[in-house]
Amino acid sequence: MFEPVSEIKNEPPRLIPSMVEGFNAIASHIYIILFPVLLDLLLWFGPLVRIKDLLLPTVLKASEISAPAYGADSQAFLETAKEMWTTILSQFNILSSLRTFPIGIPSLLISKGIVKNPLGSVQVIELQSADSALALMLGLLLLGLVLGSLYFALIAEVTNPDSGPLKFSELLHQIMQCLLLSFILACGVLVLSIPAVCLVSTLALFLPSLGSLPLLMLSLIMVWFLLPIAFSPHGIFAHHFNATTAIANSFRLVRSSMNATGLFFIMLILLSYGLDALWSTPPIDSWMLLVGILGHGFISSGLIASSFAFYNRGMKWVQAVIHEMNARKPKILS
């Protein structure tokens, strides 16, 4: 005989309700936007810590070694490489290492070479030792991961009314799982990128008429790989899963609601990049950029909170579906 079962009341996660819930949570706990705001203020008014003098000679030497491959255009290649790397290393700030991935604090100014602000030119600190530069970068990466974990933990707390106050022991466990998750993702991207880059390079070499199509193919491969695990950080902070369990549950949620999840992330990307272009409109040395920093802090925090709301709704729906499927299985009565 079959036991009667009730209909599933939970609905699949939806875009608009998740967005509304996420932004309402940030509006009710506005202190959370201090994380991205303070990071941008540090990059804006803090020193420019760079390694130009340390790396530029090595990079230019490598360019000289590879220049003969360009034949008659070798001199033009050297001039272009020198100009490009001089610009990049002149504007690169080691303090940007505080922005870690995939768990980290969002920043509006992370990709901007800030050499001046409304107070004038920024202080430039040139590192001359490779050991000190490496130690500083690793320390900033670790600090960024810790602060990013706290940021995500607070967002997970305000988007889940059933969660209790954040505990230090839980935060420490989450930081360790974030380290493990970052290591797993780095290994996965490395393993995937090696054959993908070889394929793209081969196509670009033998079929130059394809233009940017190989790069588009590489981007699609990376999206196909990363989308199913996009909710892995959410499992760590919302449900205190370990890294492997969080990845497995992210796969399950995305596979069960591929259309809704794809639309949700498309909207997040469009809103994020579109509004970042708006917030970046004022010049870097104008006080009006402060409005953009505040707006970016609220929007980016609201979008992350919306993703947690989407994840919470999605996991409840997936669990309800699994429970319903188990209930529909025939049971033999003794």
What are the domain boundaries of the chain?
Answer: 15-45+148-328
pLDDT confidence of residue 144: 93
**Segment 38-53 mean pLDDT:** 91
The tens digit of pLDDT for each residue in 228-287 reads: 888 999 999 998 899 999 999 998 888 888 888 888 988 998 999 889 889 989 989 899
Sign of CA dihedral 17, 263, 174, 315: positive
> According to the per-residue pLDDT averaged within each range, which of 9-13, 90-94, 254-258, 286-290 is highest?
286-290
**Rounded distance between C-alpha atoms, residue 62 and residue 213, angstroms:** 28
Band (pLDDT 50/70/90 cuts) for residue 296 is: very high
> According to the model, what pLDDT value does residue 53 have?
84
Confidence of residue 42 (pLDDT cuts 50, 70, 90): very high
pLDDT of 139 reads 94
How many angstroms separate the CA atoms of 127 and 101, rounded?
25
334 contacts: CB under 8 Å, gap ≥ 6: none
* Lowest mean pLDDT across 89-103, 207-221, 307-321: 207-221
- Burial of residue 225, with CB atoms counted within 10 A of its CB: 0-12 exposed, 13-18 middle, 19 or more buried: middle
Mind listing the pLDDT tens digit for each residue in 53-66? 888 888 888 877 77
Average pLDDT of the chain, as a whole number: 84
Q: What percent of the chain has pLDDT over 90?
A: 38
- Could you count the other beta carbons within 10 Å of the beta carbon of residue 243? 21
Whether 127 shows a pLDDT value over 80: the answer reads yes
- Please tell me the number of Cα atoms within 13 Å of 180 on its side-chain side: 15
Predicted pLDDT at 155: 95
